[in-house]
Amino acid sequence: DWSSDVCSSDLLNYSEIGARIARRRRQLGMKQFEVEEKADISYKYLSNIERGISIPSLEVLMRLAEVLKTTPD
């Protein structure tokens, strides 16, 4: 649910995707390092995704969705 309605002229709004990921993580009461460990992503990568600095691959988005118990749409 955190990546729906974030398309603008066929371009993804990665800041909005990151904000939705952060919101879902907080809803679950998880720390960034916990999500990074479970999704097998490097230290601080989640922080960069959440702030719209890093653009995650589809594979990373799928792993994050699984850890956050949601869907990538």
**What mean pLDDT comes out for the span 37-64?**
95
pTM of the predicted structure, to 2 decimals: 0.82
Task: Label residue 37 by pLDDT band (50, 70, 90).
Answer: very high
Mean residue pLDDT across the chain: 87
Instruction: Please give the pLDDT value at position 22.
Output: 97
Higher-scoring residue by pLDDT: 3, 56 = 56
Listed in sequence order, the DSSP H helices in 1-73 are 14-27, 32-39, 45-50, 58-67
**What mean pLDDT comes out for the span 42-58?**
94
Query: In 3D, which of 3, 57, 2 has the Cα closest to residue 28?
Result: 2
